[in-house]
Amino acid sequence: MKYISTRNAEVLYSAPEAIVKGIADDGGLFVPSSFPTIDSKFIEELEELSYPERVAKVLHLYMDEFSYDELCSYAEKAYSRFDGDPCPVVKIEDALFVMELWHGPTFAFKDMALTMLPHLMVASKKKLGIDEKTLVLVATSGDTGKAALEGFKNVDGTEVMVFFPRHGVSNMQFLQMATQEGQNLSVVGINGNFDDAQRAVKEMFVNEGLKANLKATGRAMSSANSINWGRLAPQIAYYVSSYADLVACGEIENGDKINFVVPTGNFGNILAGYYAYRMGLPVSKLIVASNANNVLADFFNEGKYSINRSFYKTASPSMDILVSSNLERLLFELSGRDADLMKKIYADLKEKGEFTFDIDLLNGSIFEAGWADEAETKEAIYNYFDLDDVTFDPHTAVAGSVYNDYSIDTEDETPTIIVSTASPYKFPVDVLEALTGKREKDVFKAMLKLQNESGMDCPGELYYINEKKIIHKKVVKIEDAMQAVLDFALDTTRG
């Protein structure tokens, strides 16, 4: 399988090249030159396989430079870091299921791909004969940072530098990142929001001066955000795997269509679902769920993408995003792979803060979109607990709320999977408040109370984080982020 850029469909790259580079030189995103196909026999074969074997089988279709056995060994290492089944699908009502993607080391779905990416990155470099260090730059709205730090910590030949909005992540997300140990890691707060961090990092990737300066220190940049193909590809596997699970337990017939509802920010998770659909997975609807930062919901309903709007800090901070990077990959496909159009609309976005897209193409797609405000999100946490005995984190609750609205509006009875993206213990203060109506500001007290209230075990790794030392305290202005990268690269005091 070869890869092309969304802004130039002429040049072909291999999968290892796409993974090591992270983003194309023209600023576009790597996409597969075509979609491999799967059929009902493929699904049947998956039923017998372990989750790592399923991942390897799906990835092998996209990365033939890696053997199946090689991919399997990476997946086994990656998913051995999970507590039990990496991707359990739980039935909560007739024809309504929850896929829990947060049983990994950092308790959010980012682990599904970020435990795998370091293996793919190291192997890709080997295949390409690259021995310079890979400096992985990450912009995070809270969860990617920690998952990237855990994935890459002490991995030879790699370093990670995370930029996060100092006042835009939850308390627990901050503690998880700030206490991270590892020789090859740096965590830097910025004065700004996630979009500022993401823009700064994207600009660094195409900054020739920075590239040359880093090269002189024996380094090249890459990305662990979902703009990186190696981050996106493993996410396709859980859509296919959850479908196989529903077939295996007799909830659906092989070939029946299902819906997925996905709490969405940077559009990486749901895009992987779209790719699974393009491969032939029987999907009826992909439902985009936004929080109060409802730029995507408006876009899908009106065809106009506009970031000229207020930015809200919500209880679902990993979705507090206005510029959804991976939307570009979807629009590339919906427009019939029109690289010139991508250049044009993303230039419009940069210059005017908005662009329009053919609404008929959006309406003709399998996407639906809705959003939930803060009160609706809390109500969803309360109601799903009350009615279905599940405790949702605020991101998952946004999806739950949007699904409720959707099913009332449409009376669609298609079996549906709500994609659950974080453990409620990553956001104990807000979840507890939604359940009890009382706000306990102390995160650790809130965790204990939430344990009593929900009957769900609090993970020790999160509870005992208060005994860990805060290692990373640096905060910079967004315009100094690039200098921080150089300082990190030139710092000879690290081990």
Ligand X SMILES: *Cc1c(COP(=O)(O)O)cnc(C)c1O
Q: Which residues bind ligand X (CB under 6 A)?
A: 108-110, 143, 226, 263-269, 318-319, 395, 421-422
Q: How far is CA 364 from CA 117, 334, 345, 358, 407, in A?
A: 34, 9, 20, 10, 19
Closest approach of Cβ 91 to ligand X, in Å? 22
Closest approach of Cβ 206 to ligand X, in Å? 22
Q: Which is nearer to ligand X, 20 or 261 (CB)?
A: 261
Closest approach of Cβ 265 to ligand X, in Å? 4
Q: Which is nearer to ligand X, 4 or 270 (CB)?
A: 270
Cα-Cα-Cα-Cα torsion 141, 144, 147, 153, nearest 10 degrees, comes to: -100
Q: Which is nearer to ligand X, 267 or 382 (CB)?
A: 267
Closest CA to 28 of 356, 339, 345: 339
Q: Which is nearer to ligand X, 124 or 264 (CB)?
A: 264
Residue 171, classified by CB atoms within 10 Å of its CB into exposed (0-12), middle (13-18) or buried (19+), is middle
Name the amino acid, one letter, at 373: D
Q: Which is nearer to ligand X, 143 or 433 (CB)?
A: 143
What does the alpha-carbon distance between residue 452 and residue 174 come to, in Å, rounded to a whole number?
A: 24
Closest approach of Cβ 264 to ligand X, in Å? 4
Q: Which is nearer to ligand X, 184 or 269 (CB)?
A: 269
Closest CA to 479 of 206, 225, 197, 219: 197
Residue 55, classified by CB atoms within 10 Å of its CB into exposed (0-12), middle (13-18) or buried (19+), is buried
Closest approach of Cβ 86 to ligand X, in Å? 16
Closest approach of Cβ 225 to ligand X, in Å? 9
Q: Which is nearer to ligand X, 225 or 241 (CB)?
A: 225
Closest approach of Cβ 108 to ligand X, in Å? 4
DSSP 8-state class, residue 183: T
Start-end of H helices in 186-253: 194-205, 208-216, 229-248
Q: CA 52, 54, 59: angle at the middle one, nearest 5? A: 95
